[in-house]
A and B are shown apart, each in its own frame.
Chain A
Amino acid sequence: MITFFQQSVTKTSYRGAFTLVEVLVVMGLLTLLAGGIYHFFTSVGQTQKVLSQQLVLQMESRKALDQVINRIQEGSEVVRPFTGETQSFLVLKDIVNRLSMLYLEPNNKISQQLQKPVYRLVAYTTDYTGSFNKQNQKVLVDLVRRITFTSLSPNTVQINATIINENREYQFITHVGLMNLGGLEQ
């Protein structure tokens, strides 16, 4: 009996559950593993989120860039800034001698959301009435953090722009040639 009990106890102790230490070690390891996995997935998720934001921002920047380029290419001559000068606005003359202005307006709503100054890039083309006409005004880009126009020749404009989106910023530089109207009349 004793022998049997001893045998039984001995067998139970070998086949039984884990000791407290073992359980604690395993739990510790599992916690570390779970923490690692959680951290990894969070990090991957964050990276993916950042990248998708970046891609969306790039797409928006591309759209903005196209809008600005198309508008500038309608011009035939850079009036302001003068060559060699940088300004945050642009004045162009077009083929029928109308003036177009590209300038920044505060985007207050987004500025409050992002807690930093954000602007809209607005284009206005004068007509011959001599008074302001709302229809001639168009917002080209909504989320401009910063933009400058530099004139390196009367036929081209260099743009340095930063577009913002949910606190991410994308900056690009580009060079836009104006409409070519040929040479001096001769």
Chain B
Amino acid sequence: MTRKRKKGFSLVEVMIGVAIFATVGVAFLSFLSQSIGESKFSAEYFSAFILSQKVMEDFSEEIAINPYGFETLGVDENSTQYSEVVDGATVHFSGLEDQQKPYGKIDPGADNTINAKVVPLYEIVKKFQFRAQAKRLEKTGDGEKRNLLRCNLEFLWDAKIGKGQYETSCSFFSPVTAKKIDLALNVDQAAIDARIPKDFFNAPGKSLAQIANERSSTVETVTALGRIALVTEDFMKSQYYTKQMKAIADLKKKLALIPASQFDQEYAVRLAIALAWYDLAKACYQIVVYLEPCFATLQSQNVSALQTGTNTLNPIQLQEALFHYRIIYEYFVGSIVQARFYYYALIEKDLALYKGGKRELQVLQKLIDLYRIVALLASVPTGMDQYKAFLGRLDTFADGRNLYLQRMVRQEMIYLQDPAVWMEKFPNLKRISSIVKARIPQILAFIKARTDDAVLNADNSY
């Protein structure tokens, strides 16, 4: 009996053996399971990384063409909605390929969203959701940080082990503040003021105070009038103005002689003319803006007094001074319209094909700027309608070809529904508008009234 007992195992021994085996087995299985889970997680994490790269590049392109790109896409700091990657739930993963007729035109709804037919991508990414948030480093003001956007991107997925989450962030430059420009830097104001007694009032050696006193006026008034007269006269007689007008005339002659097949020459000359007009427009605008406070002074003072007293101002001289300003403003308007015309010629089909899509897009962006300015000009009452019509053409052009541009155009159309909102979005335009739309009509009316008075007074005295 003793021998028989030694041959087998007791129940306790068997149970201990089974327990040890089970423990080792479970540990091994757990290790294997962990290893498999880690491998899967690593694969999923990599996929999330690739997807995030795609979305960030999308944002980068969106922002490059539209400073309010995130707003257009409905992304802000309070975005809480997670979007599926598959089945066309978001613009970032739609329109992947141009697969359907008409070819050469992508339809984001029909052209290859990541659906079940897209294998193996669909299986790889179907479990992913993502959310983007973006905020400006400063919400208000015109500090540099307001032009910087911080974007956080978060991908979530149902991971067997660990937390299925990938986060990344990126900063974008998206200028929405007004440019920092001091127009007065281009004018030597002290030198102009020193010339006023001799060159405008024909009273060399006298101070501005004496001149003002003799005319029952103020120093501010005579200074303002003198600055208007001398700055505008200097510009009209300047080498810059003469050379610029001659350069434009010469370029136009050259353009007329270029054969139609010489796209490179034609493009270069048209661009040179557009740049020349644009440069002239900028110079004229600087003078218009610089002298605007002088008109504010004249409007608030009794400028008619300058025609009375012992040393009256020659009415023709006054008329000239004020008319020169008007002429320079008209040059500004004309130059901007001419620049727009010549830039527009650069997107003519043959020229655009020759220079390529990138240059075409740059010209379109330039044209948007010019159309915006013209839309503000009181002296071009159809300017806004022209701009809206241009946006309509751009929308058609970009449809299925440049979805970023199309979104920007449609966002602009929404902003334009409320001009106040449009102005708030573009502070540079608001600043231009404060001059050309708000002040220029008043100034032109003032010039007309004052020059009429001057001529009438002169007539009465004869």
Contacts from A to B (Cβ < 8 Å)? 15, 44, 47-48, 51-52, 54-55, 58, 62, 65, 76-79, 82-86, 93, 148, 150-156, 158, 160, 162, 169-177, 180, 183-186
Contact = CB atoms under 8 A, between A and B. Distances in A.
A85 B124 CA distance: 26
Nearest to B353: A82
Interface in B152-187: none
Interface stretch (B56-64, B195-203, B304-312): B56-64
A65 B50 CA distance: 10
Contacts of B4: 15
B57 A176 contact: yes
Contacts of A79: 356
B81 interface: no
A44 B105 contact: no
Interface residues of B, number: 55
Contacts of B97: 86, 148, 150, 160
Contact of A173 (B93, B271, B358): B93
A171 B96 CA distance: 13
A173 B311 CA distance: 81
B400 interface: yes
Nearest to B49: A62
23 contacts: A55-B39, A82-B401, A84-B106, A85-B104, A150-B95, A150-B97, A152-B402, A153-B61, A153-B65, A153-B357, A154-B358, A156-B61, A160-B96, A160-B121, A170-B120, A171-B119, A171-B124, A172-B47, A172-B50, A173-B96, A176-B57, A180-B64, A184-B362
A153 B39 contact: no
Interface in B350-408: 356-363, 365-366, 400-405
A85 B95 CA distance: 11
B359 A184 contact: yes
A107 to B, nearest CB: 20
Nearest to B64: A155
Nearest to A171: B121
A85 B98 contact: yes
Nearest to A178: B358
A51 B405 contact: no
Contacts of B57: 156, 174-177
A119 to B, nearest CB: 17
B405 A86 contact: no
B402 A84 contact: yes
A152 B93 CA distance: 13
A126 to B, nearest CB: 16
Contact of B106 (A15, A152, A176): A152
Contacts of B356: 77, 79, 93, 154
Contacts of A158: 54, 96
Given A48-B39, A55-B39, A155-B61, A84 B400 contact: yes
B36 interface: yes
Contacts of B51: 173
A85 B361 CA distance: 16
Contacts of A84: 98, 104-106, 400-402
A86 B104 CA distance: 7
Given A158-B54, A183-B365, 10 more contacts: A52-B39, A55-B43, A77-B358, A79-B356, A84-B106, A84-B400, A86-B106, A151-B357, A175-B54, A175-B61
B46 A62 contact: yes
B99 interface: yes
A154 B360 contact: yes
Main secondary structure of the interface of A (DSSP, over half): strand
Nearest to B366: A184
A175 B64 CA distance: 15
Given A77-B356, A175-B57, A186-B366, A154 B121 contact: no
A113 B40 CA distance: 27
Contacts of A154: 356-358, 360-361
A76 to B, nearest CB: 7
Contact of A82 (B46, B96, B357): B357
B53 interface: yes
A47 B33 CA distance: 10
A164 B265 CA distance: 49
B212 interface: no
A152 B404 contact: yes
B60 A177 contact: yes
B192 interface: no
B42 interface: yes
B295 interface: no
Given A51-B43, A152-B402, A155-B64, A175 B357 contact: no
B32 interface: yes
Contacts of B457: none
A85 B403 contact: no
Contacts of A180: 64
A122 to B, nearest CB: 21
Interface string B96-110: 111100011110000
Given A155-B358, A172-B121, A54 B39 contact: yes
A62 B271 CA distance: 43
Contacts of B357: 77-78, 82-83, 151, 153-154
B275 interface: yes
A51 B362 contact: no
B90 interface: no
A44 B39 CA distance: 13
